[in-house]
Chains A and B, each alone.
Chain A
Amino acid sequence: MDFITIFEPNLHVVKFDDLHEFEKLINDWNDADYLFKYFAKRENDLKYYGVSVIDAVRITRYEINQFRNKLQQILKSTNPDLDQLFTNLDNQEFRTNVELSKQKSKPNPKYWLRIYALKIETNIYLIVGGAIKLKKLMEEEEATANELIKLNKVRDFLRSEGISDYDGFYELII
């Protein structure tokens, strides 16, 4: 496990193998073939959204373009406020013992791309991964469940090195 700085001094990312997690996300989310196959496998989930596979890819492309605009705003600033960008992951998103009625009554954001991170200090974040989140709870689908495993793994590693993080996981909703 390695750590790379992608925006000094505030933003860092985990590297598990050849590419760091941010590179992987950018590559996958820019890849029409990857996205088409991702949504084709989850055609049943898309019925909730009332969109076809091809339109799901287009919506994702649209979100990524918005994400680029956000990143550009960050780049322009000499002292970016990442605390505005990342929000504390709601417990209900990764704990399964929540009553179904409560899950459904909770207002939801409109977008499905997620970047997951740990908060090291005020305005200092470590990106651990990301996913296209189609279901309410992270543990409900493989893609987001894997992200939870990664978050826990990286947190445990940091703690073993004597580094603490803020309570809870963080996410960037694009």
Chain B
Amino acid sequence: MRARAPGKIFNGRIRGSAPKRHGKTEETVERRHEEARRRGVRLFFTGVGGQGTLVATRLVGEAALAEGLSASMSEIHGMAQRGGVVESSVVVGDIRAPIVAEAQADVLVAFEPLEALRALNRCHAQTKAVVSTSPIVPFTVAAGQGTYPNLDDVLRELKDKLAAVVALDAEALAREAGSVRAANMVVMGAVAAMDVLPIAKATWDACLRKLFPPKLYDLNQRAFDAGFAHARP
């Protein structure tokens, strides 16, 4: 990765540099919005306690609302600090239930590869996935109860079943951006770049600014942009 000026990596640059995907007219954006409203988009998030799954979920919800789409999200709290699985979901558009059932996820956002695999039953053949490849080995493995699957096998299984899989080393990209703690925003940058949601880059950026206190904003925006750049073809 090249070092970039903090905070303004893509701001103002996107439209010019990637006209095919981003130089869309207002009409096209309108149509995408309409399509999302009509059809709805369901996103399923999975990760391990402490990875910032809920903040990431919130970002999608806020960004969708800022785009004038309806959105609701669902979280499961409680065990987050104790190393358990944290699952959440966002539904965008004309869907009323906030949860994602089996075979309902249009987008899988996995902050940990093993958990991506465990969420396979939420996915369908058209599901697009973003998967962070940095493993967090559960203590059950350390205690000899099971083995952690081979990362290549995990990704092969996901790619075999799903329509698209963006796999990225979110922790490494976050470290480059300033702190491994922003890995969740690297993943979200990749989600934004996948074009699965009718949300403009500027809207994502505005919501990042709203969601993070000023002290943490720059770091998280850098991380988001790193993920965004990574997932752009």
Are A and B associated in one complex?
A: no
